[in-house]
A and B are shown apart, each in its own frame.
Chain A
């Protein structure tokens, strides 16, 4: 039974990959059709920003400018992560005209973890779960009205192999 299930998902994976490849060929660089409108607005996957090591370089690659700290950006993150593999972090802001929210983990191998586009009509509030290599600062960036605002919080990550 397990084998069957595995075979199924294996097959499915291959099929999916097949579709992905077809779509890629069919649409040029666009993996699927509907986000094209977005992509047209120069919103393609920020590959370069994700490759930067430091927080500053990642922000520069992503936005081309620097952020100023703001108490209008509220981040909720644990004091001590229960496990660095799954750290629940959320951000919300009272700023208006928010167009994107990004999360950076300072001492991860690559600082940029996630970047969310917030179209008009979507609330400027995101929750997600991130990986953290060690105790370090997590920074949230809110892009609002063409400017960047940030907040930073240290999250302790303890790595243990015992207990629970």
Chain B
């Protein structure tokens, strides 16, 4: 509760300052490191039995009956086929002979924990999904849909090669990076849609509780498990799919995948989960 109030006050304050003197949106009022520590402490205080790394398993870490069903599913996880397809796609050259590996540091292997990153040339956040489609377009291939199938398969494979590596999002010493982070944070805590929910209403205030039928996931570590096979979707979904469906479910109007707001949101949400292991691809109810 304290945290929510504090954050809302801070956000209001920041917005107020912004309205008056945009240029004075001082870097010293934005403290990602302190945010991260407070965010993670909030969850470990709320769920004292859980270790930090447990949070990447979403609702499965908070409900025993669900946890058992999950362990049974992980025997032979439903994302297996997507993962294999992704591995095959990743190694197959484009028409011009190049591959995805040519677009990424370390040939694209074990780098998922560094995404999204702030691109100082572009002055914007670049997510893994965006980087993959840019890679395709740079090599004369049509971009994939951001929400499922091919994009999910590719990111599933890339996440798999990073499994266990701690999320490691950096905020460079660039006011625009800090600004993107702050905007992501504001998006996270701003209420919207006919239900007037913010991301935090469900995923900070109520993780582990049921909303209608389902057990809500904690925001901490939620992206570490992406992409996910959701039984509800009968298929795979990406971070983009998670964001857009969340907005639909609160009866808001989803933005387009990879709009600046979503890129900033992913930046913020990944940063505050720094240190938690990548667990994707994941399976969810």
Contact = CB atoms under 8 A, between A and B. Distances in A.
A contacts B directly (C-beta below 8 A): yes
A2 B144 contact: yes
Interface string B201-231: 0100000001111111100000000000011
Contact of B72 (A88, A163, A164): A88
A52 interface: no
Contacts of A14: none
Given A2-B89, A161-B212, A163-B214, A86 B59 contact: no
A86 B235 CA distance: 12
Given A86-B78, A86-B231, A163 B249 contact: yes
B150 interface: yes
Contact of B202 (A1, A82, A163): A163
Contact of B216 (A85, A129, A164): A164
Interface residues of A, number: 22
B133 to A, nearest CB: 12
B149 A164 contact: no
A19 interface: no
A149 B216 CA distance: 39
Interface in B157-198: none
A82 B285 contact: yes
A25 interface: no
A161 B213 CA distance: 8
A39 B144 CA distance: 47
Nearest to A89: B72
Contact of A1 (B89, B213, B231, B249): B89
B150 A83 contact: no
B149 A2 contact: yes
B8 to A, nearest CB: 22
Given A2-B89, A158-B212, A163-B212, A83 B232 contact: yes
Contact of B211 (A5, A83, A163): A163
A160 interface: yes
Interface string A72-90: 0000001111110110100
Q: How large is the interface on B (under 10, 10 to 19, 20 to 34, 35 or more residues)?
A: 35 or more
B243 to A, nearest CB: 13
Among the interface residues A1, A78, A127, which one has the most CB atoms of the partner chain B within 10 A?
Answer: A1
Nearest to A80: B65
B65 A79 contact: yes
A158 B214 CA distance: 8
A26 B215 CA distance: 52
A159 interface: yes
Interface in B110-153: 136, 141, 144, 149-150
A156 to B, nearest CB: 10
B200 to A, nearest CB: 14
Contacts of A80: 65
Contact of A164 (B70, B78, B232, B234): B232
A104 to B, nearest CB: 20
Interface in A126-164: 127, 129, 158-164
B59 to A, nearest CB: 7
B234 A85 contact: yes
B244 to A, nearest CB: 14
B154 to A, nearest CB: 9
B73 A86 contact: yes
The 8 A-B pairs with the shortest beta carbon distances in the complex, nearest first, are A160-B213, A158-B213, A83-B231, A82-B285, A163-B214, A160-B212, A2-B150, A163-B211
9 contacts: A2-B150, A5-B89, A78-B69, A81-B69, A82-B285, A83-B232, A86-B231, A158-B212, A160-B212
